A = this chain, B = another copy of it.
Amino acid sequence: MNASIPIPNLPWQDRPSSSRDIVWRYSDNPIVTKANIPYANTIFNSAVVYRNGHFEGVFRCDDREMQQKLYLGSSENGIDWTLSDQPLTLYNTDGTPAGQACGYDPRVCLIDGRYIVTWCAQYHGPTIGVAWSEDFRTFYRLENAFLPFNRNGVLFPRKINGKYCMLSRPSDNGHTPFGDIFLSQSPDLEHWGCHRYVMGACGGWSWTKIGAGPIPIETNEGWLLFYHGVATSCSGMIYSMGGALLDLEKPWQVRARCKPYLLHPEEGYERVGDVPNVVFPCAALCDGNTGRLAIYYGAADTVVALAFAHLDEVVDYILQHAE
């Protein structure tokens, strides 16, 4: 297990005695539903960070117009959340208003004292929006990181070789039936280059496409990346969660990629909803003292759910089941 900060109040349940799974679900899932925001249709695929002893989050809420926007939320225990009933407003770096945070599937990365939100923004097609905040209250928007069409932009929590690094998944303008993970590098969060292929869709549960999930977690064995993989049946896509370890200094190199998935839709709230059969991880918090992991994931494009794991076990499992 590698160094990360202690999170003494990290949500936690021990693995059920009946289970031998590496990742297991919170027994009172889902933890966030449409009831958390008036006028909401669904709340899912949301990101969470630990800050000053409590938890803050950026939530995807599709409202009853099915407009996709980001909302802030906070929690003392990481399970019971209070969400804003208004979408997050963004500002330009000169302090002028930049409108509501439209888009979806946010991730939040703490790096050098700034909380950086990346999400799927719309600019003549989907691409990666970037905004940062020092106080989790006022968020400043930068220009989009990439040209359209792109989704699932995920930052690393420290500069590598002096540059910011971001994973992303070039896509198309619809329900993209393909997609691989690339890594891009930037001196300033605004200009990106040195784009490198990381890994692609492959057989089984991820044959259609893959996309990075939570902010990678640094371990002795490499960056632990949870990601979603998609298979397509005759009735639609099935989203599962897998894991991989990337090289610490050359993170575009895959050290180990776990062949089996780590989580697959099985419970009712994952199987039934606006989009059936989806687990979509967007955040993973690790308690530096115990190695306990709390993984936040969207379920069925309808609710937010929570799962648990031990960091060491996950790393070992990936190494043992690597291709």
Interchain CB contact under 8 A, A195 and B147:
yes
Contacts of A272 in B (CB 8 A): 268, 271-272, 276
CB-CB contacts below 8 Å: A155-190 with B? 168, 170, 172-173, 175, 178, 180, 182, 184-187, 190
At the interface, yes or no: A144 with Cβ under 8 Å from chain B?
yes
In contact, A66 and B234 (Cβ under 8 angstroms):
no
Closest approach, in angstroms, between the C-beta of A254 and any C-beta of chain B?
A: 14
Contact A261 B64 (CB under 8 A): yes
Assuming the A-B contacts A193-B192, A273-B271, are A235 and B234 also in contact, with contact meaning beta carbons closer than 8 angstroms in the complex?
no
Decide yes or no whether A85 CB sits under 8 A from chain B.
no
| Chain B, Cβ-Cβ closest to A18 | B35
Which residues in B have their C-beta under 8 angstroms from that of A271?
272-273
Q: Closest approach, in angstroms, between the C-beta of A101 and any C-beta of chain B?
A: 17
A147 to B63, CA, bound (A): 32
Least CB distance from A73 to B in Å reads 21
| Contacts A41-B261, A272-B272 known; 20 new A-B pairs at CB < 8 A | A41-B205, A64-B205, A66-B204, A66-B207, A143-B194, A144-B195, A172-B172, A175-B232, A175-B233, A175-B234, A186-B191, A186-B193, A191-B193, A233-B275, A234-B236, A234-B237, A235-B236, A236-B236, A238-B274, A268-B272
Name 19 A/B residue pairs within 8 A (Cβ), A-sorted: A41-B264, A65-B261, A66-B203, A123-B195, A124-B180, A124-B200, A143-B193, A147-B170, A147-B184, A147-B195, A149-B170, A173-B178, A175-B234, A185-B191, A191-B193, A233-B275, A235-B237, A236-B236, A272-B276
